[in-house]
Amino acid sequence: MDLQPGARLGDRYHLRQRLGAGGMGEVWLAVDEVLRRTVAVKAMLPEVARDPDFARRFAAEATAMARVNHPAVASIHDYGSSHGVAYLVMEFVDGESLSQRLTREGRLAPDVTMRLVADVAAGLAAVHDQGLVHRDIKPANLLVRRDGTVVITDFGIARHEDASLLTASGAILGTPSYLSPEQVRGEPAGPRSDVYALGLVAYECLAGERPFTGDNPYAVALQRLESSPRTLAVAVPDPIRAVVARALATDPRERWPSAADLAAAARANTTLPAAASPVHAAVTTPPAGRVTSGKPRHRALVAALAVVVLGLGGFAAWFTLADGNAGNADAGNGGGGAAEASSGAPRAGLDSPGTGSAPAGFAACGDALCPAAPLCWAGTTTIGGEAMPIRSLDCAADHRWETIQAVPLPPGEIDLDTLIEQPAVAAACSAAVLAERSRDPAATENWNLHAWPIERDGVTLVHCLTGSPDGESTGSRVQP
């Protein structure tokens, strides 16, 4: 059956106008002649219908959408097959896609962006409550009604968290420009993958451009494993910048714990009083010096530890990025919670200023400082062009890095990419030092070495870090 204006599906749905087409099918404006209402009909293309995987995915979309009842999720009315055409009938949204709006307007105001993010995140929370993950959040799949509210559509690759993928092993589903880092790595998508994708959408709304660019979509997808989003080059209130930055954390554990939490944070920032909304227009040099990344377009300042309270009944965010799990203290590292890197904190020598002893939690060992108890951390990253604080983790849990020893932060401007090459840091963070301090030198012989400035108890040190080349590990590998 050829789909054309005037055609009928199921002897009920009168096709009026084709609204769009994609790889799986076409979307038509239609009239339900039984209930006398305007609907949208998504019809699967016949050549696609012959592929059993795509047919199952189309049926799964109907099932997934039917399970969710929320104003921000497109309602499903019917599903069927007629004259060899499988079709899905859903509510017709009188408006336009967010991608169309961005094409027309360029970018959106911060307040408008936060309202949009709050609506979408609330809808995603309802989706996640049903055990579903959308996996393809992007402007083209968000429809903006004439009243400004938003509807999530296109659940074609949505997946139940307990279900197996409908594609061949190793295939990656989703739009490359909006994939989360874990999806790029071929790992299963979870609810926080949708949070990351919505963070990308928020960035695009605020900046008028995507945070990652490249020669092709897959090069763009791979960038998020190797670099951070480009710095927002527009004036954005810092609390809003923090909301987006946390959504874009590379490590899923450092993002908003749920879509509901992101919705609450965004909603709290839709009407910010002027006194509580400092606008981030430029980054100034802290009096104690700068720490930067030498990567093109990603020169980064280690942020000061100003805390921005978002008014979420206990939720708080750091000036540039919220703690990995708001209100959830880290344990097992000598009482250390989320340790933040800060160029504004005092720089330590082997003795803390005015104390005549090593900084708390450290003991002098030669020309360096050795931790009195194991110190383990999440990944080091920069978000929005700023070096993000590294989060302290219990060494018994999965972690990316462990401190071998630490040295004072060198004076002046520091390039994070070459920090480990500076003589004093290189000597302290060498393979020979790791072999000397490792509990099992043979096992850690080929482990990665890294240097990162970390502030603890008001003192900033360069921590020599080691981590498995295979990713996360558990347990301490360094002798105290």
- DSSP state at residue 354: T
CATH architecture group of domain 95-268: Orthogonal Bundle (1.10)
Tell me which residues are annotated as active site: 136
Provide Rg for the chain, Cα atoms.
Answer: 25
Which residues have CB under 8 Å from 377's CB, separation 6+? 339, 390, 391, 392, 393, 399, 400, 401, 402, 403, 454, 463, 465
Residues of each domain in the chain carrying CATH 3.30.200.20: 8-91
Q: Which CATH number fits domain 8-91: 2.60.120.10, 3.40.50.300, 3.30.200.20, 3.10.150.10?
A: 3.30.200.20
The number of residues in the chain equals: 480
Mean pLDDT by 10 residues, the chain (480 residues): 85 89 77 93 75 70 78 88 86 89 92 95 92 87 90 62 35 64 82 94 92 74 74 84 91 93 93 40 30 37 23 23 30 33 44 58 90 87 51 84 92 76 90 94 91 85 88 87
Residues of each domain in the chain carrying CATH 1.10.510.10: 95-268
Distances (CA, A) of 440 to 2, 340, 458: 69, 29, 32
DSSP for 37-100? EEEEEEEE-HHHHTSHHHHHHHHHHHHHHHH---TTBPPEEEEEEETTEEEEEEE--SEEEHHH
For residues 421 and 18, give the distance between their C-alpha atoms in angstroms, rounded to a whole number: 60
Do the bridges between strand 459-467 and strand 316-318 make them parallel or antiparallel, or are there none, so unpaired?
unpaired
End-to-end CA distance of the chain: 73
**Residue 242 — left, alpha, or beta (φ > 0 → left; ψ -120 to 50 → alpha)?**
alpha
Distances (CA, A) of 308 to 179, 242, 311, 339: 29, 9, 9, 16
138 carries a ligand binding annotation:
no
What pLDDT is attached to residue 320?
Answer: 23
What pLDDT is attached to residue 366?
Answer: 86
What pLDDT is attached to residue 160?
Answer: 42
Containing H/E element for 449? strand 448-456
What pLDDT is attached to residue 385?
Answer: 40
What pLDDT is attached to residue 84?
Answer: 80
**Residue 221 — left, alpha, or beta (φ > 0 → left; ψ -120 to 50 → alpha)?**
alpha
374 φ, ψ to 5°?
A: -55, 140
- DSSP state at residue 301: P
CB distance 464 to 458 below 8 Å? no
What pLDDT is attached to residue 175?
Answer: 64
Which residues have CB under 8 Å from 104's CB, separation 6+? none
Distances (CA, A) of 261 to 174, 392, 447, 460: 24, 21, 36, 31
